[in-house]
Chain A
Amino acid sequence: MTAKSQTRRLAQGGLVDRTRPLAFTFNGRAFYGCKGDTLASALMANGIDVVARSLKYHRPRGIMTDGPEEPNAVVTVGEGSSRTPNLKATEVVLHDGLVARSQNCWPSVNHDVGAVAGLAAPLLGAGFYYKTFMAPRGAWPRLYERLIRHAAGLGRAPEGHDPGIYEHRHSQCDVLIVGAGPAGLAAARLLARAGLRLVLCDERSRPGGSLTGAMQCIDGEAGSAWARQTAGDIAASPGASVLLDTCAVWLGDHQLVSLVERRPGAGSVAERLWLVRPRQIVLATGAIERPVCFPGNDRPGIMLASAAVAYIHRYAVAPGKRAVIHTNNDSGYGVLRHLCQAGIDVKAIIDTRPHELIGEAALRMVRDVDVLAGHRIVSTAGRHRLRRIDARPADGSRRSSVIDADLMCVAGGWSPTLHLLGHRGGAMRHDEHDAACPAAAPGDGVAIAGAAAGVTGLAECLADGARAAGTVLQALGREVPVLRLPVIDAETEVSSGNPTGPSCRSLDVRQQRAAFVDLQNDVTAQDLMRAVDEGYGAIEHLKRYTTSGMGTDQGKLGNLMTIDIVAEVTGQPFEKVGHTTFRPPYTPVTLGTLVGHARGEHLFPTRQTPFHHRHLAEGALMELAGSWHYPKCYPRDGETLDAAIEREVRTVRNAVGFVDMSTLGRFEILGPDAGIFLERAYANRLSTLGEGRCRYALMLREDGVVLDDGTVARMTTDCWHVTASTAHAGDVWRHLERLRQVEWPELHVRLVDVGEQWAGLAIAGPRARDVLAAVAPELDVSPEALPFLGCRETAFDGVRARVFRISYSGELGYEVYVGARHGDRLWDAVAAAGTSFGIAPYGVEALDVMRIEKGHCAGSEFDGRSTPAELGLGRMIKRDEPFLGRALVHSPARQHSFRQRLVGLVSTDRRTPIPRGAILVAGTQRSRALGHVTASVVSPTLGQPIALAMLQESTSLGDGELRAVSPIVGLDVAVEIASLPFYDAEGGRTRA
């Protein structure tokens, strides 16, 4: 039954395992293929002609190639959350239970409503969207965007969580050989013999490259068997690994090569990204056959000649019954024998060259087949598959040859696959045979071998691989081992000599529609002509205007035809036209592969404070603040988030609370010049700071913009304890180290990052002093002994502790630091000491509410644009002493009135919350923003919404006109400016 359904499967030959049938479905219908099939070969074996619909005109499309260059057969594989769209059927390895669907068609691929677009094809040419959807402007969001979005795009992205496992692996080796074809294998066996650590990768499931799709014999065995044996020998060498189903997608700087290993249906890992850093690279990436541009060159049944041969020999599938070979060089004639072997009736060879240019060896291979020399194809016919071909002599005579055929093998010559080299920015040129080759030597560490280097012929490719291996060994300073070259038993191929030139010159493309250049994006020769006429002759402009080469195949087939047509139309040589930029990846890579394990909680490394387990025990609602796990608030039973935050704020304002301060950056600045160093690094005066005192301090960038704020405390003469905000801790450290190491290396100063050494709690509230007294009994906590902005070193439960009288909340407050491993004991001591006052821990939300009530700046105000004057901190800046940023902080541009200033806002009705991030406008003048809301809360202390905002000083702003508008949440709130701080303006509570 399984064999019966595969009507096009040949009885003999091929590398598929007929005893291992694999069930799969395509568009809901059940089929069988064989182990060793790709989805494309299995579909072809089952007689499926139409696999997809084209992007623009919804023309029926079949399978054209046998590799990553496939423009047509783009499908969706898998279901639900593991669905992957836009895969090339030629790259999908068949496995049991595979589910595939066509894209871009409705209701089915054979009966597609969208095909009416084909009738409108004359209107849908190059630049259609640019020209059509211009005016009226108002129609854009409502009508045009919807229309375009509906029609645009290929497959649909999967929804939900992808269950597949993706992983990344790193590898360092002596040599990476890309491509396990004849040249790659020849190079790798020599390099393995020399004992190098090597990686050999190939995008296909089998080693051998072109050997697996042909009938050549090497050293007395079939080419495919030789390849398998050789690859096995290489894999068995110490330090060598062979990666199949692994495509090199990116050649980056400093020899970093990314490989994507696709492992469908093979174990737990779906795809693997290899980051290989070889010392030397051998590119044995082969060549891609070129198509030919003629009217109707996109019908199912028209395929590359090399692909037709590969389907016969690799997959044992007959790609058709009655064939025509269309060629412009001798290599097309070699196809004849393979088609005959598969029982395909070859009707004719249509050669664009006149008879006298056809090679004699090629003609000798022709028996019982008409050769129509000097002919062009003027049209093809057939609705869902090629049925008839109309060829006429190129001399313009009207004598027409109409041939019935369901298969056309197109042989337009070969283009070396040099995309990886292009990722380095190297340009390509075209040699005398119009084959692409590197414009300059590939550069250090890269050798090109085989067909990728423009070498033709199997024996020549094997020899060239060995030569490339020699180059590599020489570069690495190793001996070249003696190894006999494999012997080709019967050289039966015909080289692609004597081409007449590039493929599409066989036709006056100007007159023709449906002569496709880019089959995936439905770009025709006529589109290119039109674009050139409209002034888009530069190749990079032309690409974007026509979308030629912008599909998922990245123009692997079409780009050369595009260049050729532009060259012909503009009368320029190939070199002048140039080529578009080759960009990684070589083939599309799934997002899952790029992401690897870095998703969910593994997105980036996260950090926990020394109090982490205490937070959890207290029932904290944790969130990620930057890389820190930090409590948002500590909701009690049945308490809402807002209620918890409000309770925590009230606890601090009325009694006492405590909060984890361990995320702050903390640095010790040590040495005799520490004072000078800090004086230069900070914008306010610090040299007058005595021992046992601390001060709020502001740090500027070189350009006068605020970098960060923090406190600077002088513990002893030469030991300073400096804090930086959580968000900027890393930046500040890097900045300070740069000043020390690079700018002022003459200063005797050392910096120590002690952030991880100290666990810190802030105790805040009217009863904070009582709590501290109980926690640190050796410390005199009286206001006289420890005044506001005082700091002391003391003992806590037998260990060293630092106490700073600093307040962020606006209440009487202390920060207490002990060694990180004593954090739990400090927490427990503080909680026990405060029990009688109703002490409670508070989280980042309550912290934020209280700092807004006090008008303190934080991350949303220090946004990398604001100056001290804008933030109301201008008076802190010292005038006399030099410091970093001084020259520019006083410059006119930093002082100008168009700059903003920090203001407090309240909503006019005292009830409506002010949306965060809202834009401030005057009345109904929506087009001009006067500023934005940086922070906003409903203050439990004041019982009304308050906000901080950056507002431009404006004379045009009338009374009662200011509005905070947030189109995102659809809110528009009347606001008034309020003086800062909102709470305890005199600061009496802090200084109590």
Chain B
Amino acid sequence: MLIIPCPWCGERDESEFSYGGPARPLPSLDADAAAWRRALYSCDNPMGWREELWFHGFGCRQWVVVRRHTVSQKIVDGRPPENPS
């Protein structure tokens, strides 16, 4: 069970969150099917640090971005999504 640093609520238990996948810019709504397919189905699956989205549904109900290490499961740098790092 992970501890996720919510920028609004502090360190909270994983059970308060739901997972939202890797944090990555989606193509614009006008973009063609190929661009959307690339974005949805050809994602990186790094062995190491990755930014991802979590929804603090049983807390502040905000989407947050954290950096998680996919091997050690370390999580750092919780931040709101609208401030790109």
Contact = CB atoms under 8 A, between A and B. Distances in A.
A702 B61 CA distance: 21
B44 interface: no
B37 A254 contact: no
B40 A703 contact: yes
Nearest to B36: A887
Nearest to A277: B3
Contact of A743 (B3, B26, B55, B62): B26
Contacts of A256: 1
A608 interface: no
**Majority SS at the chain B contact face:** loop
A680 B36 CA distance: 16
B82 A741 contact: yes
A886 B31 CA distance: 9
Interface in B2-58: 2-3, 18, 20, 23, 26-33, 35-37, 40, 53, 55, 57
A890 interface: yes
Contacts of A753: 61
A738 B30 contact: no
A7 B33 CA distance: 82
B1 A741 contact: no
A737 B63 contact: yes
Given A253-B73, A734-B55, A882-B29, A745 B82 contact: yes
A702 B40 contact: yes
Interface in A683-704: 702-703
A888 B29 CA distance: 11
Contacts of A890: 33
Contacts of A734: 18, 55, 57
A891 interface: yes
B32 A887 contact: yes
B73 A741 contact: no
Contacts of A886: 29
A738 B63 contact: yes
Interface in A265-288: 275, 277
A888 B2 contact: no
Given A254-B2, A741-B62, A742-B53, A891 B33 contact: yes
Nearest to A883: B29
A742 B40 contact: no
B1 A745 contact: no
B64 to A, nearest CB: 9
Residue among B26, B62, B71 facing the most chain A CB atoms (10 A cut-off): B26
Contacts of B57: 730, 734
A252 interface: yes
B21 to A, nearest CB: 10
Contacts of A443: 72
Contacts of A664: none
Interface in A856-907: 882-884, 886-888, 890-891
B73 A254 contact: yes
A931 to B, nearest CB: 26
A439 to B, nearest CB: 15
Given A702-B26, A734-B18, A741-B82, A888 B55 contact: no
B35 A887 contact: yes
Interface in A719-752: 730, 734, 737-738, 741-743, 745
Q: Which of B31, B63, B82 has its CB near the most chain A CB atoms (within 10 A)?
A: B63
Contacts of A275: 1
A256 B11 CA distance: 14
In order of increasing CB-CB distance, the 8 nearest A-B pairs are: A882-B29, A887-B36, A745-B82, A253-B73, A742-B81, A891-B33, A887-B33, A741-B63
Interface of B: 1-3, 18, 20, 23, 26-33, 35-37, 40, 53, 55, 57, 61-63, 71-73, 75, 80-82
Given A737-B61, A891-B37, 6 more contacts: A253-B73, A425-B71, A680-B29, A738-B53, A742-B63, A887-B33
Interface of A: 252-254, 256, 275, 277, 425, 443, 680, 702-703, 730, 734, 737-738, 741-743, 745, 753, 882-884, 886-888, 890-891
17 contacts: A253-B1, A254-B2, A254-B3, A254-B73, A275-B1, A702-B36, A737-B61, A737-B62, A738-B53, A741-B80, A742-B20, A742-B81, A882-B29, A883-B29, A884-B29, A888-B36, A888-B37
